[in-house]
A and B are shown apart, each in its own frame.
Chain A
Amino acid sequence: MIKKFFYTLFFASLFGLFFSYELKAQCGSELTDICHAELGDARFIRDFPVQHSEAQSGSSPRVTRYNVVLNAGTTYRIFSCNDQTKPGKVIVSLYRGDQLIATTYDVDSGRHFPYIEYPVSASGQYSLTFMFKDGQEGCAVGILSSVR
């Protein structure tokens, strides 16, 4: 009986350890690894981890911005992956100056898209912005990659 109890305790502890690792593992480098597996034949260039706490009611959702220089003649794929343990879903938008080029969220249909593919024809400085829908708490990673 006691033996059975200790076995149960042992496996429960193992499960707990594994589960807590999984929760922790989602946000950070591990999330980049998970997202990297989605790239297929695209080549990893850079990752952009984003973690936001829930926006205060009445205030605008926080936006994180990164500048990138994109080159003409290259087709880029910008992936995004969410930490499933957090409620927020990331919206990635690509801008050239103030001009919106593309976004992973369609306001009309309410759909999120996994990546943006952009065959660049004008080299220059672009920016990627990351925010979580409705200012929810979230953790995500964006990956800039190039199609070979």
Chain B
Amino acid sequence: MAKKNVILLLLISGVVSLFVMSCAPEKREEATDLLTDTMITEDVGITDEAVGEMISSVPNPVEMSALLQKSDVVYSQDLLNPDSNIDNYNTNFERSLNLGVYGTDLVYMNIYDRTVSTLAYLRNVKDLADDLRIGQFFDYETLNRLSESSRNVDSVLYITNRGFDNMTRYLIDQNRSSIAILVAYGTWIESLYISTNVQTKPPNKDLIYQRIGEQKIVLDNLLLLLSNFRNDPNIDELFMDLMDLKKEFDNVSITYVYKEPKMKEVDGSIVVVDKSRSEVNINQEIVDGIARQVNYIRNKIIK
């Protein structure tokens, strides 16, 4: 009798497993390149610590999107990478870059309270991350549930950003820094693409242009980072594209006046009083030049 029950149980388990497997989302194609296994940091003469230190200087897209929203810039869905484009990304190289692109789009949509429309983008982030074997950092179910209400924007942004941070650290720890760098590259280019293509108007236009000009500092860091990975022809091409972008950013000048900062205690915490200042010299013509090159790079990434 007991033996019969065991056989029955096994049969039921088998049927249930088959049912569950048949209901699972369609499996995406395997990557056609070996990027994850061929680019290890030991080969490129840069320590994991240094990679982590430099990647952390690539701004989180929350900052740029929040500035746009605060400056009353109108939301533009047309600027985002269409969610259907995901089917075009068949290599780890393309998937890494576009994970950064879709991640930035997701942040942009959330900052503008477009939480309900984010589902397709959320799915894309999860799918690309799964393809790259880093899907464990994106809790799709929780994010999906939270996205049902715009009251949860902060939680969605927190979970998304923390996921990207954890993913970056994991990739670096696993000697897969090139993937982390490509995600950061995609993130930064998409953020710059959105900010140089939105419709801006005075008086906040100048503030946004200044922020665009300040990306010169980030560009220098990215170039330094990529220069260590140029033995990969794909990364070398990205590096050369950034060198062309650098020619446009060379027209931006940033001047600094540094003063001695002071610390004071306010309500049990430290508040810094700093009279230093920076001035970014940038104009419409320079922004247009930057936008042209950014559009070129971004269109190559998302094609």
* Interface residues of A, Cβ cutoff 8 Å to B: 29, 32, 36, 43-49, 65-69, 71-74, 94, 96, 99, 101-104, 113-125, 146
B301 vs chain A, min Cβ distance (A)? 22
Q: Measured between alpha carbons, how far is A97 from B117 in the docked complex, in Å?
A: 42
How distant is the Cα of A102 from the Cα of B269 in the complex, in angstroms?
11
Q: Is the CB of A117 within 8 A of B60?
A: no
Known: A46-B60, A96-B276, A116-B269. 7 other contacts (CB 8 A): A44-B154, A67-B221, A72-B277, A113-B265, A122-B274, A124-B278, A146-B66
> What are some 7 contacts across the A-B interface (CB < 8 A)?
A43-B62, A69-B59, A69-B221, A71-B211, A102-B270, A123-B278, A125-B217
Distance between Cα atoms of A28 and B180 in the complex (Å):
20
Checking A43, A46, A116 against B272 with a beta-carbon cut-off of 8 angstroms, the contacting residue is: A116
Q: Which 5 A-B residue pairs are closest in the complex by CB-CB distance?
A: A67-B57, A122-B276, A122-B278, A66-B56, A118-B272
Q: Does B166 contact A (CB under 8 A)?
A: yes
Cβ of B261 and Cβ of A66 under 8 Å apart? no
Give A51 to B63 CA distance when docked, in angstroms: 27
- In the complex, what distance in Å separates the CA atom of A72 from the CA atom of B211? 9
A36-B158, A117-B269 known; A102+B261 contact, CB < 8 A: yes
Q: Check if A45 sits within 8 Å of B60, measured CB to CB.
A: yes
Q: Name the B residues within 8 Å of A102 (CB-CB).
A: 261, 263, 270, 272
Q: Give Cα A74–Cα B210 distance, bound, in whole angstroms.
A: 13
Contact of A113 among B218, B270, B274, B275 (CB under 8 A): B270
Residues of B within 8 A of A (CB-CB), count: 44
Count: A-B pairs, CB below 8 Å: 119
Contact assessment for A117 and B272 in the assembled complex, using a CB-CB cutoff below 8 Å? yes
Any A CB within 8 A of the CB of B127: no
Within 8 A of A (CB), among B239-298: 254, 256-258, 261, 263, 265-266, 268-272, 274-278, 280
The answer, among A29, A43, A49, A115, for a CB contact under 8 Å with B269, is: A115
The answer to whether A67 and B53 have CB atoms under 8 Å apart is yes
A123 in contact with B280 (CB, 8 Å):
yes
Contact string against A for B residues 80-106, beta-carbon threshold 8 Å, 1 for contact and 0 otherwise: 000000000000000000000000000
A10 to B166, CA, bound (A): 35
Tell whether B223 is near chain A: CB-to-CB under 8 Å: no
Closest to B56 in A: A66
| B151 on interface, CB distance cutoff 8 Å | no
Residue B165, interface by CB 8 Å: yes
Partner pick for A71 among B166, B214, B257, B263, CB 8 A cutoff: B214
Residue pair B162, A116 in contact (C-beta under 8 Å): no
B53 to chain A, nearest CB (A): 5
Closest chain B residue, CB of each to CB of A100: B261
A125 contact from B221, B263, B272, Cβ within 8 A: B221
Q: Does B135 contact A (CB under 8 A)?
A: no
Q: A121-B276, A123-B280 are in contact. Are A46 and B53 (CB under 8 A)?
A: no
Q: How far is the CB of B241 from chain A (nearest CB, A)?
A: 21
- Are B157 and A44 in contact (CB-based, < 8 A)? yes
Nearest CB in chain A to that of B263: its residue: A102
A118 touches B274 (CB 8 A): yes
Q: B271: which A residues are within 8 A, CB to CB?
A: 116-118
CB-CB nearest in chain A for B256: A122
Distance, CA A124 to CA B169, complexed state (A): 24
How far apart sit A148 and B98, CA to CA, in the bound complex (Å)? 29
In the assembled complex, how far is the CB of residue A66 from the closest CB belonging to chain B, in whole angstroms? Answer: 4
Q: How near does chain B come to A34, taking the closest CB pair, in angstroms?
A: 13
B63, B166, B265, B272 — most chain A CB neighbours (10 Å): B272
The residue of chain A having its C-beta at the shortest distance from the C-beta of B255 within the complex is A122
- On whether the beta carbons of B269 and A101 are closer than 8 Å, the reply is no
Indicate the member of B52, B268, B269, B277 with the most A CB atoms within 10 Å. Answer: B269
